Each structure stands twice: as structure tokens, then as C-alpha cells.
């Protein structure tokens, strides 16, 4: 046991001796989270900026419609001239523009609303809400105009009664968490990729110490090869736990990205994936003949698999073929677990995902053990 503890301390000490290692293991995951914030961090307040151009003068109906727009929640109204309106829409300062052309009030009074234009460069995503609210309000006034049959006194009486309605509508705004969910998803995706690279770098120490003959000197002592490999695995797990905790704490407490999942559920899920990653790293080391080969193999395996599993891009934009392929990758099952945890499922109910991740770890470990046992090259770990 003392030999195991000594090897673990030695591995961790050698790993973090260089300042660049601290950045590689802890700085890069945080950088990945910052990149995700840049991509998804635009916090849409839901305020629609609307410019109004009134070419219908001081008509009472037109002025009331403008006041109605000003009273809407999540809508900021600005009265502008024609040149400024088009310039602000083109520059993005306004989301939409409403033009009340001359004759608008008269057309509404006649029961056939015309001379109203809504312009926007952002499409129906912005104009749909404005159109719906205007059609409802103007439609009611137009209905009064139809019932008046051209009788001005009747129209004024009905319109005043409509304007003085005493019922109230109370609205509550529900926070949209979809953007935060996507930010969490991609942050975890970047963390997964860096965890995999970190695990390979830690396992690569086995080959480095074989190349500089440190491994042979260690085995000349009473220390066994099994203890040596076990110490590397434990040190890898400790490093991965630190990496996970630091990334999650920075994400939640510093950058205020709320994943919607508690640490008690998120950390075990990531650690289980970390175990599979460590077994994969041992598999890569077992098949590589040198540290250069390890670097080539990890780039060939980790980066494409992370792309296919949706670590860097949402799976929703992937073709069906790619989604089916991702089912054979451990990253997919971890990301699927994170999604289900965010939906409110408990960690205990996701036994299928956990069993699949554990199966990946067992398969990778068995292949690595078989490869180590069949390897007779003295430059390799036996």
C-alpha cells in the first residue's frame, strides 16, 4: 500500500511540475466553457424594439393604436421619421417597424383596415407577435365600424364604451431556460473532450518512463508491474476528479451557468465516464509503440468521436446517420444522461446509461490487458 501511495504522489508531482500542465488540465476546460458562453451566451431579454412612423396625423384611432402598442409588455416603442426608421432597422437597432399610412384611421372606421405596413429584416420570428396583437386590437375597432354602418355618433358611442372596458389582463413572464440548457450541454461537451485528452496524457507517462528507462528501474525494486499500472489509474482518477470539480465550480459559481443538475448527480456521472476514458487511454497506450504514436492515435480517435457524439455541436443539426453512429460512442451516453438529468430524471433511474458506460470501461480495459499480455517488445509495458 505504501508503494502504491508513493507512486501516486510521484505521478501527480511529475505531472504538475510544469506550469503548462496546470493550464492544460484546468485552463483548457475553462476556456471551452468561455467559448460556449460566447456562442450561446447572448441573453435575449425578450424586448422587441419597434419603431413607429405615423403618416396619418393626429387621428384618434391611430393615436390609440400607438398607445396600445406602448402599453404592451416586452415591447419598446419609439416614434421616428421615415429615414431614421429604415436606417435603424437596417443597422439592427430596431427589430421591427410599423408604418401608419395616411387613411389608416378612416379605413378602420369603415370596417376594412388598410394602409398599415409592418417591416423587419428578422422575419416572422419578430413580426408574428406584433401582427397578432395589432390584428386583435384593430379587428375589434373595425368590427365596431361595421356595426355602425357609417353612423358617426353610433361609432363614437360604441368606441368609447370599448375604450373604457373595465376588465384587466394580468400577464406573467416565464424565464426561457433553453439557452442556458444548450450552454450547459456544450460546456460539458468541451469538458468531455479535454477529459479524454487529459486521460491519455496521464496514461502516456507509462510509455515515457519506459523510454527513459525509469520504468525498468522501478521494477527492479520489490514493486510489481500491476501496482505501477494501478497507481497510474488512481492518479488519473484523482486528476480527473479535480478537473471536473474545478470546471463545474467555475461554470456555476463564477460564470453563473446553472446546469439545472446538482453536483451530487453531475459529478458521479462525469466520473463514471472518466473511468471509461481512462480505460480507453490505457488501450491507446497498449497499442502505441511510442509517445509519438500515442499523440497520433489520440488525435485520430478522440477528436472525430467527439464530433460525431455532439460534444462540439448540437445533435439536432446532425443527420440521422450520424446520430445512429453516435450511439456506439461513450460520449453520446454521457450527454444523453446529462439531458435526462436536466429534464428532471434522477441519476438512479438512468441505470441503462450507467451500465453502458461501465460496459465501455470493461471492454476497453479487457482489450488493453490482453494487448499488454501479448506484447513481447521490451520497449512496451508488459
CATH number at residue 103: 3.40.190.10
One domain for residues 296 and 328: yes
Q: Which of 44-48, 237-241, 295-299 has the lowest mean pLDDT?
A: 44-48
What is the tally of helices (H) and strands (E) in the chain?
17, 4
Q: Which of 126-140, 227-241, 344-358 has the lowest mean pLDDT?
A: 126-140
Q: Per the domain annotation, does 40 fall within a domain?
A: no
Residue 177: CB atoms within 10 A of its CB come to: 13
* Cα gap 308→315, rounded to integer Å: 9
The answer to whether residues 258 and 353 belong to one domain is: yes
Whether residues 272 and 330 share a domain: the answer is yes
Q: What is the structure's pLDDT at 175?
A: 56
Q: What is the DSSP letter of 116?
A: E
The model's pLDDT over 126-177, given as tens digits with 9 standing for 90+, comes to: 677 788 888 888 888 888 888 887 777 888 788 777 777 655 556 565 555 5
Identify whether residues 182 and 157 lie together within a single domain: no
Grid coordinates representing 295? Answer: 499523440
Is 194 a member of any domain?
yes
pLDDT, position 171: 54
C-alpha cell at 291: 509517445
Give CA–CA dist 264/164, Å, rounded: 56
**Averaged pLDDT for residues 5-28:** 80
Residues 52 and 130 grouped into a single domain: yes
pLDDT digits (tens, 9 = 90+) for 266-320: 899 999 999 999 999 988 888 887 778 888 888 889 988 988 888 887 776 777 8
Residue 208 and residue 153 share a domain: no
* Domain endpoint, select from 162, 186, 214: 162
Co-location of 130 and 224 in the same domain: no
Residue 87 lies in a domain: yes
Domain assignment present for 122: yes
pLDDT average, residue stretch 359-374? 84
User: Which of 137, 162, 187 is the last residue in one of the domains?
Assistant: 162
Q: What angle do CA 58, 62, 66 make, to 5 degrees?
A: 110
The model carries a pTM of 0.63
% of the chain beyond a pLDDT of 70: 85
Which whole number is the average pLDDT over 54-73?
Answer: 85
| CA distances in angstroms from 319 to 178, 324, 338, listed in the order given | 22, 9, 21
Close Cβ partners of 57 (under 8 Å, ≥ 6 residues apart): 102
Q: The domain containing residue 316 runs over which residues?
A: 177-373
Provide mean pLDDT across the span 62-83.
85
Residues 106 and 209 in one domain: no
**Higher per-residue confidence, 18 vs 78:** 78
75 lies in a domain?
Answer: yes
pLDDT in tens, 188-200: 888 898 899 888 8
Pair type for strands 96-100 and 116-119:
antiparallel
Max CA pair span of the chain: 110
In a domain, 4, yes or no: no
Contact 368, 282 (CB under 8 A): yes
Final residue of a structural domain among 162, 185, 207: 162
User: What's residue 26's pLDDT?
Assistant: 84
- Domain for residue 186, yes or no? yes
Q: How many domains does the chain have?
A: 2
Question: At residue 262, what are phi and psi to the nearest 5 degrees?
Answer: -70, 155
Selected residue with higher pLDDT from 266 and 180: 266
**Least confident window among 42-46, 123-127, 152-156, 227-231:** 42-46
Amino acid at each position: 500500500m505504501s508503494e502504491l501511495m508513493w507512486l501516486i504522489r510521484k505521478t501527480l508531482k511529475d505531472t504538475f511540475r510544469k506550469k503548462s500542465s496546470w493550464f492544460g488540465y484546468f485552463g483548457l476546460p475553462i476556456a471551452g466553457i468561455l467559448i460556449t458562453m460566447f456562442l450561446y451566451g447572448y441573453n435575449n431579454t425578450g424586448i422587441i424594439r419597434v419603431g413607429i412612423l405615423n403618416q396619418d396625423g393626429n387621428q384618434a384611432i391611430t393615436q390609440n393604436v400607438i398607445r396600445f402598442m406602448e402599453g404592451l409588455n416586452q415591447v419598446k416603442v419609439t416614434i421616428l421619421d421615415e429615414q431614421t426608421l429604415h436606417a435603424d432597422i437596417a443597422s439592427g437597432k430596431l427589430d421591427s417597424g410599423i408604418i401608419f399610412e395616411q387613411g389608416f384611421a378612416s379605413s378602420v372606421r369603415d370596417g376594412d383596415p388598410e394602409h398599415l405596413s409592418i417591416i423587419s429584416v428578422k422575419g416572422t420570428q419578430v413580426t408574428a407577435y406584433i401582427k397578432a396583437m395589432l390584428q386583435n386590437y384593430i379587428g375589434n375597432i373595425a368590427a365596431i365600424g361595421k356595426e355602425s354602418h357609417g353612423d358617426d355618433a353610433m361609432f363614437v358611442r360604441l368606441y368609447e364604451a370599448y375604450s373604457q372596458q373595465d376588465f384587466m389582463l394580468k400577464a406573467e413572464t416565464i424565464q426561457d431556460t433553453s439557452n442556458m440548457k444548450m450552454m450547459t450541454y456544450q460546456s460539458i461537451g468541451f469538458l468531455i473532450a479535454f477529459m479524454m485528452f487529459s486521460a491519455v496524457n496521464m496514461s502516456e507517462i507509462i510509455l515515457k518512463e519506459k523510454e527513459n528507462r525509469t520504468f525498468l528501474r522501478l521494477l527492479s525494486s520489490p514493486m510489481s508491474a500491476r501496482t505501477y499500472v494501478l497507481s497510474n489509474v488512481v492518479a488519473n482518477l484523482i486528476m480527473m476528479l479535480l478537473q471536473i470539480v474545478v470546471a463545474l465550480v467555475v461554470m456555476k459559481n463564477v460564470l453563473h451557468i446553472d446546469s439545472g443538475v446538482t453536483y451530487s448527480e453531475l459529478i458521479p456521472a462525469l466520473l463514471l465516464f472518466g473511468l471509461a476514458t481512462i480505460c480507453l487511454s490505457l488501450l491507446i497506450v497498449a497499442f502505441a509503440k511510442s509517445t509519438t504514436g500515442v499523440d497520433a492515435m489520440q488525435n485520430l480517435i478522440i477528436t472525430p468521436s467527439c464530433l460525431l457524439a455532439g460534444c462540439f455541436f448540437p445533435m439536432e443539426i446532425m443527420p440521422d446517420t450520424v446520430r445512429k453512429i453516435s450511439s456506439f460512442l461513450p460520449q453520446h451516453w454521457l450527454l444523453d444522461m446529462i439531458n435526462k438529468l436536466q429534464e428532471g430524471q434522477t441519476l438512479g433511474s438512468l441505470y441503462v446509461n450507467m451500465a453502458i458506460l461501465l460496459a465501455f470501461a470493461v471492454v476497453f480495459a479487457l482489450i488493453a490487458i490482453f494487448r499488454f499480455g501479448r506484447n513481447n517488445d521490451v520497449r512496451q509495458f508488459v
